[in-house]
Amino acid sequence: MNIAVAVKRLPHGANLPLPGYATAAAAGLDLLAANADPVVIAPLARALIPTGLAIALPNNFELQIRPRSGLALKHGIMIANSPGTIDADYRGEIQVIILNAGSADFTVTRGMRIAQAVLAPVSRLVWQETTELDHTTRNAGGFGSTGTHRLRED
């Protein structure tokens, strides 16, 4: 299914291609860095990287900003608030908070593929307050309560 999304290229995004899908079955578009000068991110530091794009999403959709797996594996580059969310009513520039969890400086240069953007439908919940919840096998078991190995089915 194709969803039309209006996109505005900002002056500092001029001459960069619009984000695109790398393959026919890719879920995410590659976002490009629109910084004028290289940005060096030290280990355990973060930086806000512009994309030079602003968009108008249709209602009931969000754009999720996610890390690129190759940057994560090879350099420890993460998206600090992953997944970041661009709401349907936001009209400002898409910017990416890059966190360097690696052990060496990482340099972001203009035109570098820095993140993925995935269009996702948004459902809104309606609270139904109650005094009791249904019981499950897990019930109130919290962090780590299901273990780290495959569960046995009895």
Kindly write down the DSSP assignment for every residue of 17-64, as one continuous string: PPPEESSTT-SSEEEE---SS-EEE-TT-EEEEEEEEEEEPPTTEEEE
Mean pLDDT on 129-143: 84
- Stated pTM of the model: 0.86
pLDDT at residue 139, rounded to an integer: 78
Q: Is the dihedral of CA 67, 69, 70, 75 positive or negative?
A: positive
pLDDT at residue number 153: 61
Domain ranges of the chain: 24-121
Q: Which of 3-17, 40-54, 78-92, 129-143 has the lowest mean pLDDT?
A: 129-143
Instruction: Say what the pLDDT of residue 44 is.
Output: 97
CATH code reported for the domain at 24-121: 2.70.40.10
Give the CA diameter of the chain: 62
- pLDDT band at residue 136 using 50, 70 and 90 as cut-offs: confident
Per-residue pLDDT of 31-61, as tens digits, reads 999 999 999 999 999 999 999 999 999 999 9
**Average pLDDT in the chain:** 93
Q: Is the pLDDT of residue 12 over 60?
A: yes
Give the integer Cα–Cα distance in Å for 68 and 27.
12
If you average pLDDT over residues 89-95, what whole number do you get?
Answer: 98
Tokens representing 21 are 């899908």
Look up tokens 């499950």; give the residue. Answer: 136
pLDDT, residue 140, reads 76
